[in-house]
């Protein structure tokens, strides 16, 4: 089966091809469901049929989000997106099941536990996670800028968008080895940030 031909057909509103793509990826979807929801726990937090519905909807979105100018294949792209979705579902189920309190930095929690102890996570507070992730990334990016310079920030930005080191090297007019060195340098530095 030529999946790229099927993807093109779906993009051209031939939705009959969706059925073929769903069947083609069903073994991979089942494998991810089993790894995340069945093998590692005695309580299944997301039933297989429910996960299939999430996976099918995600497949449709991935078809329109996938960019051919990346070296990653569509199957790799879909697998990565599906795993992220599975972990999101798992986290959401665990929040609902255990009503976890908002997790704060240890020092802050000790200082202000009386203020935050009664706050429970709800679906509406998922926006909080997104905002906090974005703020944390902006903070980290500013530190990279201050420590290494703007070129390093460009390398990290492009890498996080899924571009290969070769593409980044061509884009920034650098050698592949230089980009690899820059990326590894920042990656090593990030493990020691604020420690």
Q: Which pLDDT value is given to residue 104?
A: 39
- Residues 12, 63, single domain; the answer is yes
pLDDT band at 131 (very low <50, low <70, confident <90, very high): low
Rounded Cα distance, 89 and 91, in Å:
5
Q: Which residues contact 193 (CB under 8 A, 6 or more apart)?
A: 140, 143
pTM of the model: 0.48
Comparing C-alpha atoms, which of 189, 193, 151, 194 is closest to residue 172? Answer: 151
Residue 137 falls inside a structural domain? yes
Provide the percentage of residues in the chain whose pLDDT is more than 70: 74
> Do 74 and 17 fall within a single domain?
yes
Q: How many CB atoms lie within 10 A of CB 107?
A: 8
22 & 74 share domain:
yes
Does the residue 115 lie in any domain? no
Q: Give the gyration radius of the chain's Cα atoms.
A: 21
Q: Say which residues have a Cβ less than 8 Å from residue 97's Cβ, sequence separation at least 6.
A: 45
* Cα separation of the two ends of the chain: 50
Position 20 in a domain: yes
* Backbone CA torsion sign across 146, 151, 155, 160: positive
**How many domains are there within the chain?**
2
* Residue 52 located in a structural domain: yes
Q: Is residue 8 very low, low, confident or very high in pLDDT (cuts 50, 70, 90)?
A: confident
- Determine the pLDDT at residue 133: 64
- Its domain, for residue 142, covers 122-190
Per residue in 72-121, pLDDT (tens digit) is: 788 888 988 898 888 888 777 777 665 544 443 433 434 444 444 444 44
Q: Which tens digit of pLDDT belongs to each residue from 109-123?
A: 344 444 444 444 444
């Amino acid at each position: 089966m030529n999946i790229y031909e099927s993807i093109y057909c779906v993009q051209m509103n031939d939705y009959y091809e969706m059925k073929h793509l769903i069947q083609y990826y069903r073994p991979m979807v089942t494998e991810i469901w089993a790894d995340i929801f069945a093998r590692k726990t005695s309580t299944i937090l997301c039933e297989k049929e429910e996960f299939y519905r999430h996976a099918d909807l995600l497949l449709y979105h991935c078809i329109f989000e996938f960019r051919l100018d990346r070296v990653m294949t569509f199957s790799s792209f879909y697998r990565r997106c599906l795993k992220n979705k599975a972990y999101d579902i798992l986290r959401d189920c665990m929040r609902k099941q255990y009503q976890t309190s908002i997790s704060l930095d240890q020092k802050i929690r000790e200082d202000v536990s009386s203020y935050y102890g009664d706050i429970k996570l709800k679906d509406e507070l998922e926006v909080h996670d997104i905002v906090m992730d974005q703020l944390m990334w902006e903070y980290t990016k500013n530190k990279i800028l201050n420590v290494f310079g703007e070129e390093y920030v460009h390398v990290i930005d492009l890498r996080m968008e899924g571009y290969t080191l070769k593409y980044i090297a061509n884009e920034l007019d650098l050698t592949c080895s230089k980009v690899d060195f820059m990326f590894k340098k920042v990656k090593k530095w990030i493990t020691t940030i604020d420690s």
